[in-house]
Structure 1
Amino acid sequence: MMQSPEGQSTTAAIRFDLGAIFVSLELSQSKWLLTSLSPGGGERMSRHELAAGDVAGLLGLFERLREKARDRTGRDYGVVSIQEAGLDGYWLHRVLAAEGVESHVVDAASVAVSRRRRRAKTDRIDGEALLRTLLAYKRGEPRVCSMVRAPSPEQEDVRRLSRERRTLVGERLTHVNRIKGLLASQGIGGYQPLRRDRRVRLEALQTGDGRPLGPHLRVQIRRELDRLELLCEQIKAVEAERDALLAQLEQTAPPDRPAPTAMLAQLVGVGAETASVLWHEGLFRPFDNRRQVAAYAGLAPTPWQSGKIDREQGVSKAGNPRLRTAMIQLAWLWLRHQPHSALSRWFLQRVQDNGGRGKKTAVVALARKLLVALWKYVSAGVVIDGAILKAA
């Protein structure tokens, strides 16, 4: 109750009654901290600690919370939960959804925090912040947070191929650079570890002062080549699985329209790997408008305006980093393979207006425009203006 200026009590300006049991989950590898707010319990939050992975204990705790709320109010209430997207993935979200719990997964970076220079951070504080965020979200407050659309198990599994290939390619580059570094320390350059005759050429190498390679160095490089060849075989196996998956998608596509990955691969400059990454990392999701597409890839602009201050901070980088990296790489390839498209002409005109400067900034803008154009292409069949398709 509030006191009016005349000393008379009036009702609060805003009142609401809880229509469910709201729960936040702070997950770690050792324990789970549950913070709850139940109907009939006032504004007091209760906290419970469980061992990590104790799903049965978690469901039992939910049932006890329901019983307490029923005893206090005489009504049955459902459970609404929230958890951060993290290392635990989406398996717990799927378990709770299967048990009838309204489960939400939130992007942790979208939850508002204190702007103090040094802010306290504990699981208890984070649990309360998550619970307040969930209450605001269910009240319908706009943009209070960004909830994650959990992919299906099939969608989550199929994108493992492109991610594994990226990891293997990175490991291959590490071994190549290590071999080149070992040889460079002996004055040897020009050796290419990825060539097929790498072992034959290794035996004929001599140091910069005319000596043969030391026996221990030669053996070390051979072991590096063993690991390098294993990685090359694994990359080939992953690429074969990817090609088989793309062929399966083409076979299951409707007869009047090709598969989205096949549509992307028809564009000159877009290969099978890029098409797979673009589709499985982002374009398979439903988007309402182009702003959502750019925001999901982290390519949305970030202005900074306050009074007379008005400047651009660059892209937000708040979205999918794999999709964003693929789009930046594709933007450079697009300029090379699609020079007569409307997007390439726009890029060249913008760089020319800046006196040839700002290519890196302009290519990020090109990546954003290209991603939106590709989304329209695979979702509505809108052909990119001036784009060249591969011959059938």
Structure 2
Amino acid sequence: MDIIVGIDVSKDRLDIPIVPSGEVFHVGNGHAGIEALVDRLKAKHSADGPCVVALEATGGFEMLAAAELSSAGFAVIVVNPAQVRAYANAIGRRAKTDPIDAEVIAAFVAATRPEIRPLRDAETQALSALVDRRRQIMQMIVAEENRLRMVVETQAQKSIKRLLAALRRELDSLDADLDEQIRKSPIWRVRERLLVSVPGVGSTTARTLLAEMPELGSLDRRQIASLAGLAPWTRQSGQWKGKSFIGGGRGKVRAVLFMAALVASRHNPMLKVFRDRLVAAGKPRIVAIVATMRKLLTILNAIIRDNKPWQNA
């Protein structure tokens, strides 16, 4: 990494330091500002060597800059804000301003050299947005159904029922949009059929994996578990051994795998035996379910890698 560009992203502005030159500037977080940034980095790229651009994930405000910088040919890394903050604390950078945060991002990338993964293409981002919206609508439906069970006043019940009807129509519309998005890609159509061939895996789980984990099938079982945040990490010192935990990774993937593992542990013969064996050995049920999630993800990874559907043993 010859030149590292750290970018602190806010709604209206990008703060940018360049390492090792020490140059610091800012641009607007819009098409005009990002275009000016691309031109400036291209001039530096041709003069001083290749650039790596790092941005924090900031709830979507980073997406335009990441997409345009990647399209311009730069290696772009979207880093985890929690990891950057932990690094800042470790090196004693307690102060927090946008320019300081941008410098810490650049220093974090220089120190840790994270792997550069290809960003999701426009079609995958569109699929992810639809999957996210469907999840939000489902959450609203569940919330309104819970309210309906609690409300006794007739007028309030009518209001909730009207809203539920509208939300269910929107859910049907989103499902149709998702079907259309999947049909656009022969690869997605094939992979969805492969994924749903596994008992316990439905279209929601399959489409979330397609949108949020395009690496599925290209990594080994340890790497894919780590990417999903399902690789256990241990805590021990000397003779003391603490409990193992999971965390980090892609929360949306873990959420759908949790529900899929609950279903699979009842209806998938292989995974039912696997979960029951862990429980019989004295493992807490939640530990057994997490292990089942990891086993299920390993199976799905192998199915996509080998391009072969599930086969009952």
Indicate yes or no: 2:104 matched with 1:129. yes
Instruction: Measure, in 1, the Cα distance between the counterparts of 2:64 and 2:70.
Output: 10
> Which structure is higher in helix share?
2
Indicate yes or no: 2:190 matched with 1:259. yes
| 5+ long unaligned stretches in structure 1 | 1-18, 40-44, 137-142, 184-216, 388-392
Q: How far does residue 386 in structure 1 lie from its aligned partner after superposition?
A: 3.8
Q: How far does residue 130 in structure 1 lie from its aligned partner after superposition?
A: 1.8
**Partner of residue 234, structure 2:** 303
Indicate yes or no: 2:34 matched with 1:55. yes
Q: How far does residue 233 in structure 1 lie from its aligned partner after superposition?
A: 0.6
* 1:328 alignment partner, one of 255, 258, 271: 258
Instruction: Letter of the 1:369 partner, please give it.
Output: K
Aligned residue pairs, count: 308
Verify the 8 A CA contact 1:269 1:334 in the aligned structure 2: yes
**Partner of residue 109, structure 1:** 82
**Partner of residue 152, structure 1:** 121
Instruction: Measure, in 1, the Cα distance between the counterparts of 2:5 and 2:93.
Output: 27
Greater Rg, structure 1 or structure 2?
A: 1
Indicate yes or no: 2:291 matched with 1:365. yes
Q: How far does residue 276 in structure 1 lie from its aligned partner after superposition?
A: 1.9
Q: How far does residue 61 in structure 1 lie from its aligned partner after superposition?
A: 4.4
Indicate yes or no: 2:160 matched with 1:230. no
Q: How far does residue 361 in structure 1 lie from its aligned partner after superposition?
A: 1.0
Verify the 8 A CA contact 1:107 1:148 in the aligned structure 2: no
Verify the 8 A CA contact 1:107 1:147 in the aligned structure 2: no
Q: Residue 24 of structure 1: SS of its match in structure 2?
A: strand
More relative contact order, 1 or 2 (CA 8 Å, 6+ apart): 2
Superposed CA offset, 1:298-351 (max 9, x none):
1110211222222223212x1111110111111111121123x2x322221221
Q: Residue 303 of structure 1: SS of its match in structure 2?
A: coil
Q: How far does residue 225 in structure 1 lie from its aligned partner after superposition?
A: 1.6
Instruction: Measure, in 2, the Cα distance between the counterparts of 1:149 and 1:108.
Output: 19
Q: Provide the identity percentage.
A: 23
Task: Quickly say closer, same or farther: Cα 1:246–1:104, change in 2 above 3 A.
Answer: closer
Instruction: Measure, in 1, the Cα distance between the counterparts of 2:73 and 2:199.
Output: 48
Matches within 5 A, 1:80-99: 80-86=52-58, 87-99=60-72
Matches within 5 A, 1:1-392: 20-37=2-19, 45-53=22-30, 54-59=33-38, 61-62=40-41, 66=44, 77-86=49-58, 87-111=60-84, 112-115=87-90, 119-136=94-111, 144-145=113-114, 147=116, 149-183=118-152, 217-247=153-183, 249=185, 252=186, 259-282=190-213, 285=216, 287-316=218-247, 318-339=248-269, 341=270, 343-354=271-282, 358-381=284-307, 386=312
Instruction: Letter of the 2:94 partner, please give it.
Output: R
CA RMSD of aligned residues (A): 3.0
Task: Quickly say closer, same or farther: Cα 1:268–1:289, change in 2 above 3 A.
Answer: closer
Verify the 8 A CA contact 2:218 2:305 in the aligned structure 1: no
